[in-house]
Amino acid sequence: MQLDKVDAEKRKLPYLFERALTAHYANHFEESNQIFEQAEILAEDLYTKSISREASSLLTSDNIRPYSGTRYERFLVHYYRVLNYVYLNLLDDALVECRRARRLLQHYVDEDPTYNFAGSAFLAYLSGILYEWTGDWNDAYISYRWAEAGYQRYEKHLGISLPTDIGYALVRLARWLGFNQEAERYAQLYGEPPQYPSGSGELILIHESGFVPSKTEEELFFPIFKTDPFIHQEEENEEEVWDFADTVVHRQNFEYDDAELEYLMRVAIPVCTSNRPRLMGFEMEVKFSGETDLQSKLGENLSRRLEVGNFQALSVSVEDVEGAVLATFDSEQRVILLRTVVRAILKYLAFRRAEKADELVGSLVNFLNMATEVADTRSWETLPNQMFLVRMSLPAGMYNVTLSFLDMEGKRVRTETLSDAVIKTNGKTFLNYRTFE
């Protein structure tokens, strides 16, 4: 595995994200977690970026500002770290990662009560599964409740419904914990959970589809008029600059006569458009392929039934990463545009002062202003666009898993078979499968 190193500190975090995810897909789980840990430490450090770098970015480019990652990116670091630990059979470490993710979620909710849980609802769901597996019913119950709250907001913001299994889990765990009133309320909301026979385990298969939208650069032009009082002032203060910028922003696509124009201001801003994948979920068919040592206790009759039977399920949508990307981008876009226009106005004022002193120097300042006007398009570009899941109870044994991938209309596009998936009694087998189309 090779990725070109990026020497600029400003792109170090996206580089670590990409490198760690590549290691994960190459089954280098320990290496992946080591790099993800570096990314987590750096993201936390950059989250408290210095005032001096903030000030300098206003005069030059947003690319000078440290990129600390978005909320959804930081949650997906935890998601991949959890999977890495599960595949390394380090369940205690996976649970530690779940707790760290919950603390981060609590921090974001405390910071912004309107937070729509983008990137975190599925992680809370996954955490509930792991806690329940290890017998930590209280933390499992808390995680499923976080997941319930998250998917309720997902329904409104992203159009993803609460997975049925979460409701069943809340009924089941509330009863185990003796929360009888809550159990009754959840049972009325979500129905009675199914009963699984002894000797069963679970297969949890996650399909990660496509790529998130990447950011690109777009040029915008805003007129400054000869009649604008602001530009004729000898000095300006910060509040006046921001007020004038707010006026200029509303001049996009404004019609004017050339005689009115003092200066045509160019700015570069990031844009982000939908990049939905071709594959939008899957049907799963599981067929018994043989006994394991643990499964041999099932007995001849059950083994014979498994050999001729199969299990089928349709995936459910559990995470819309693109939705999180676009919602985050849209919420920040007005501020980004306003900041960009403020920066362009300050550059223009610097150009005017330089031109008054020396026309050649003014021309040089204007050239540098144009050259440094570059949009900030940094992001974690190899993340999947959508995530789908099947959670299936199976008798212990070895299985071949056939995935039939579906398009947006629900038609089968192609199939893949994963061989010899081992299901252990009371165990859970996790698989994540990535498609790129």
pLDDT digits (tens, 9 = 90+) for 254-305: 888 877 888 888 889 999 999 999 999 999 999 988 765 444 544 444 444 4
Q: Sorting pLDDT into bands at 50, 70 and 90, what band is 368?
A: low
Q: Which range among 166-175, 237-246, 294-303, 338-347 has the greatest average pLDDT?
A: 166-175
Q: What is the pTM of this model?
A: 0.86
Asked if 191 contacts 416 with a C-beta cutoff of 8 angstroms, the reply is no
Task: Tell me what pLDDT residue 35 has.
Answer: 96
Task: Tell me what pLDDT residue 240 has.
Answer: 86
Please, what is the average pLDDT of the chain?
85
Three-state DSSP at 164 gives helix
137-157 helix and 121-133 helix, angle to the nearest 10 degrees: 160
Structure tokens at 198: 């002894």
Question: C-alpha angle with apex 271: 269 to 276, nearest 5 degrees?
Answer: 170
pLDDT over 60 at 83, yes or no: yes
pLDDT over 90 at 30, yes or no: yes
Task: Tell me what pLDDT residue 68 has.
Answer: 82
Q: Sorting pLDDT into bands at 50, 70 and 90, what band is 24?
A: very high
Task: Tell me what pLDDT residue 305 has.
Answer: 44
pLDDT over 70 at 4, yes or no: no
68-92 mean pLDDT: 94
Q: Sorting pLDDT into bands at 50, 70 and 90, what band is 372?
A: low
Task: Tell me what pLDDT residue 362 has.
Answer: 52
Three-state DSSP at 217 gives strand
Looking at 112-249, list the stretches that DSSP marks H as alpha helix, in order from N- to C-terminal side. Answer: 121-133, 137-157, 164-176, 180-190, 238-249
Which of 51-55, 108-112, 374-378, 382-386 shows the lowest per-residue confidence on average (mean pLDDT)? Answer: 51-55
Answer positive or negative: Cα dihedral of 76, 81, 86, 88: positive
pLDDT over 90 at 81, yes or no: yes
Task: Tell me what pLDDT residue 370 has.
Answer: 60
Distance CA 112, CA 391 (A): 32
Question: C-alpha angle with apex 311: 206 to 303, nearest 5 degrees?
Answer: 120
359-363 mean pLDDT: 56
Task: Tell me what pLDDT residue 197 has.
Answer: 79
Domain boundaries, the chain: 215-274+325-371
Please give the span between the terminal C-alpha atoms of the chain, in angstroms, as a whole number.
21
52-75 mean pLDDT: 69
Closest CA to 53 of 43, 40, 62: 62
Which of 49-53, 117-121, 263-267, 377-381 shows the lowest per-residue confidence on average (mean pLDDT)? Answer: 49-53
pLDDT over 90 at 50, yes or no: no
Task: Tell me what pLDDT residue 279 has.
Answer: 95
Task: Tell me what pLDDT residue 69 has.
Answer: 87
Q: Sorting pLDDT into bands at 50, 70 and 90, what band is 309?
A: low
Task: Tell me what pLDDT residue 328 has.
Answer: 86
Structure tokens at 368: 């540098």
DSSP string covering 386-411: EEEEEEEEEESEEEEEEEEEE-TTS-
Q: Sorting pLDDT into bands at 50, 70 and 90, what band is 428?
A: very high
Q: Sorting pLDDT into bands at 50, 70 and 90, what band is 158?
A: confident
Task: Tell me what pLDDT residue 113 has.
Answer: 83
| Between residues 25 and 117, the one the model is more confident about | 25
Asked if 231 contacts 352 with a C-beta cutoff of 8 angstroms, the reply is yes
